[in-house]
């Protein structure tokens, strides 16, 4: 079932967290931000999720009426079904300029109305995405984990849609509830962040930017959201975490001598 994270006046933020069934793929969250008649679907996923997501969306709006498709980066679980969203909606696809020539590889060459005019490509420093009386912020999150990567901040709800940053690997069927006690929860995040975040230096840059925003929620693309004291504890944990290239040495770059199984 969708979870409404925020709803006030003409503004709503919804998360769809349970559309990946069983072992079909990695658990992933999709997000809808609505402001009046403007809407943004954030990280809608691939073909695995297209049909269940369109059905779930119809509770809030007709998919054909979407204003934007926001992609934090280029992975299949982020934007793999871009061809269908371009075909069946009039939405503009917003992603990093670095991926503006790669995302269209998911679109057949014969598909009409899918050219460059359907894309809004972000420079590395991000920017404001107009939503009819408010803006969504595209915030630099490069190398966390993708070379061209963005988090999206909604200043009306003070919700930070953080992409892969803050992701947790929780048991299937776990209630989708905000984490407010970070200590035990960090165990579900450690392996993921060590592997997928590029370095502590980059993480610290992102943490400093997020502290300046002071969000009320941090809501990642995988796992559970964080709220309250857990946010500050998470940021302190992340800025002090050795990850990615911090953990690599000569032993990780040896010429292989054995056959793969």
Q: Which pTM does this prediction carry?
A: 0.96
Other beta carbons less than 10 A from residue 211's beta carbon: 14
| 188-209 residue pLDDT tens | 999 999 999 999 999 999 999 9
Checking if the pLDDT of 126 tops 80, the result is yes
Distance (Å, whole) CA 77 – CA 43: 8
| 10-59 residue pLDDT tens | 999 999 999 998 777 889 999 999 999 999 999 999 999 999 999 999 99
User: If pLDDT is split at 50, 70 and 90, which confidence band does 146 have?
Assistant: very high
For 231, the enclosing helix (H) or strand (E) is helix 229-239
Average confidence score pLDDT of the chain? 96
Over residues 143-168, mean pLDDT: 98
Distance (Å, whole) CA 34 – CA 258: 54
């Amino acid at each position: 079932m969708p979870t409404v994270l925020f709803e006030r006046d003409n503004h709503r933020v919804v998360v769809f967290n349970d559309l990946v069934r069983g072992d079909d793929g990695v658990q992933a969250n999709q997000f809808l931000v609505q402001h009046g008649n403007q809407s943004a679907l954030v990280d809608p996923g691939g073909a695995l999720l297209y049909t269940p997501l369109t059905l779930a969306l119809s509770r809030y709006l007709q998919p054909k009426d979407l204003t934007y498709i926001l992609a934090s980066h280029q992975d299949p679980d982020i934007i793999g079904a871009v061809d269908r969203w371009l075909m069946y909606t009039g939405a503009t696809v917003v992603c990093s300029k670095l991926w503006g020539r790669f995302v269209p590889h998911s679109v057949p060459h014969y598909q009409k109305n899918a050219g460059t005019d359907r894309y809004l490509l972000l420079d590395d420093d991000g920017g404001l995405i107009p939503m009819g009386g408010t803006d969504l912020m595209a915030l630099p999150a490069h190398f966390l984990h993708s070379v061209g990567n963005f988090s999206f901040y909604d200043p009306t709800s003070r919700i930070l849609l953080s992409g892969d940053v803050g992701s947790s690997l929780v048991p299937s069927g776990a209630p989708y509830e905000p984490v407010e006690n970070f200590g035990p929860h960090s165990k579900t995040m450690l392996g993921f962040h060590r592997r997928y975040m590029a370095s502590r230096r980059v993480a610290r840059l992102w943490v400093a930017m997020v502290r300046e925003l002071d969000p009320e929620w941090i809501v990642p693309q995988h796992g559970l959201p964080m709220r309250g004291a857990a946010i500050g504890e998470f940021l302190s944990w992340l800025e002090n975490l050795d990850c990615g290239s911090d953990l690599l040495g000569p032993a990780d770059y040896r010429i292989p001598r054995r056959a793969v199984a």
